[in-house]
Structure 1
Amino acid sequence: MRKYLNRVAVAALSFAFVSEAMATEWNVSLWGKRRAFTEHVEKLAELVSEKTNGEFTLKISYGGLSKNKENLDGISIGAFEMAQFCAGYHRDKNPSITVLELPFLGVETLEQEIALSMAVYQHPAVKKDLARWDATLLMPSPLPQYNLVGVGEAPKSLADFEGLSVRATGGIGKAMATVGAVPTSMSASEVRQAMDSGIVKAVSFAPHAHMSFGTIENGKWWTTNLNPGTVNCPVVVNTPALEDLSDAHREALLGSVDEALEYYVTQYESKTMEAWGPALDERGIERVTFSDEEIAAFKEAAAAPAAAAWIEENTARRLPAQELYDLVTGMVANGS
Structure 2
Amino acid sequence: MKHIVGKAVIAAVIASFAVEAGATEWNVSVWGKRRAFTEGIEKLAELVEEKTNGEFTMNVSYGGLSKNRENLDGISIGAFEMAQFCAGYHRDKNPSITVLELPFLGVKNLEQEVAVSNAVYSHPAVEKDLARWNAKLLMPSPMPQYNIVGTGEPRDTLEKFDGMRVRATGGIGQAFEAVGAVPTSVTATEAYNSMESGVVDTVAFAQHAHLSYRTIDIADWWTEDLNPGTVNCPVVVNIDAYNDLPDDQRKALDESVPEAIDFYVANYGKLLEKWDAILKEKDVKRVSFSDDEIAKFRKTAADPIREQWITDMTAQGLPAQELYDLVQKTLEEQSKTN
TM-score by length of 2: 0.98
Q: Determine if the alignment matches structure 1 residue 83 to structure 2 residue 83.
A: yes
> Residue type matched to 2:10 in 1?
V
Aligned equivalents of 1:156, 1:64: Cα separation in 2: 40
Alignment-derived partner of residue 334 in structure 2: 335
Alignment-derived partner of residue 244 in structure 1: 244
Contact 1:146 1:206 in 2 (8 A): yes
> Residue type matched to 1:274 in 2?
E
> Residue type matched to 1:45 in 2?
A
Alignment-derived partner of residue 306 in structure 1: 305
Aligned equivalents of 1:117, 1:154: Cα separation in 2: 33
* 1:148-159 aligned within 5 A: 148-159=148-159
Aligned equivalents of 2:101, 2:43: Cα separation in 1: 25
* 1:125-164 aligned within 5 A: 125-164=125-164
RMSD of Structure 2 on Structure 1 (CA) = 0.8
Shift of 1:217: 0.8
Per-residue displacement from partner, 1:88-139 (whole Å, max 9, x unpaired)? 0000000000000000000001011001000100000000000000000000
Alignment-derived partner of residue 209 in structure 1: 209
Contact 1:105 1:332 in 2 (8 A): no
Alignment-derived partner of residue 282 in structure 1: 281
* 1:114-193 aligned within 5 A: 114-193=114-193
Identical-pair percentage: 63
Per-residue displacement from partner, 1:7-26 (whole Å, max 9, x unpaired)? 21111101101111111100
Contact 2:175 2:302 in 1 (8 A): yes
* 1:255-274 aligned within 5 A: 255-270=255-270, 272-274=271-273
Contact 1:26 1:58 in 2 (8 A): yes
Contact 2:51 2:252 in 1 (8 A): yes
Aligned equivalents of 2:156, 2:225: Cα separation in 1: 13
Shift of 1:280: 1.0
> Residue type matched to 1:332 in 2?
L
Shift of 1:322: 0.8
Aligned equivalents of 1:174, 1:327: Cα separation in 2: 22
Aligned equivalents of 1:174, 1:294: Cα separation in 2: 17
Alignment-derived partner of residue 48 in structure 1: 48
The DSSP-based 3-state class of the residue aligned with 1:312 is: helix
Aligned equivalents of 1:208, 1:167: Cα separation in 2: 16
* 1:56-135 aligned within 5 A: 56-135=56-135
Aligned equivalents of 2:294, 2:59: Cα separation in 1: 44
Aligned equivalents of 2:98, 2:155: Cα separation in 1: 29
Shift of 1:73: 0.3
Shift of 1:284: 1.3
> Residue type matched to 2:223 in 1?
T
Aligned equivalents of 1:331, 1:51: Cα separation in 2: 32
Aligned equivalents of 2:88, 2:53: Cα separation in 1: 37
> Residue type matched to 2:29 in 1?
S
Shift of 1:156: 3.0
Shift of 1:331: 1.8
Contact 2:119 2:330 in 1 (8 A): no
Shift of 1:180: 0.8
Aligned equivalents of 1:112, 1:334: Cα separation in 2: 10
Shift of 1:53: 0.5
Contact 2:32 2:62 in 1 (8 A): yes
Contact 2:226 2:289 in 1 (8 A): yes
- Structure 2 residue ranges without an equivalent (≥5): none
The DSSP-based 3-state class of the residue aligned with 1:136 is: strand
Per-residue displacement from partner, 1:288-324 (whole Å, max 9, x unpaired)? 1010011011101111111111111111110111110
TM-score by length of 1: 0.98
Aligned equivalents of 1:333, 1:104: Cα separation in 2: 15
The DSSP-based 3-state class of the residue aligned with 2:236 is: strand
- Structure 1 residue ranges without an equivalent (≥5): none
Aligned equivalents of 2:287, 2:180: Cα separation in 1: 18
Shift of 1:230: 0.3
Aligned equivalents of 2:226, 2:178: Cα separation in 1: 13
> Residue type matched to 1:132 in 2?
R
Aligned equivalents of 2:120, 2:259: Cα separation in 1: 20
Per-residue displacement from partner, 1:20-71 (whole Å, max 9, x unpaired)? 1111100000100000000010000000000001010011000000000000
Aligned equivalents of 1:274, 1:307: Cα separation in 2: 32
Contact 1:138 1:235 in 2 (8 A): yes
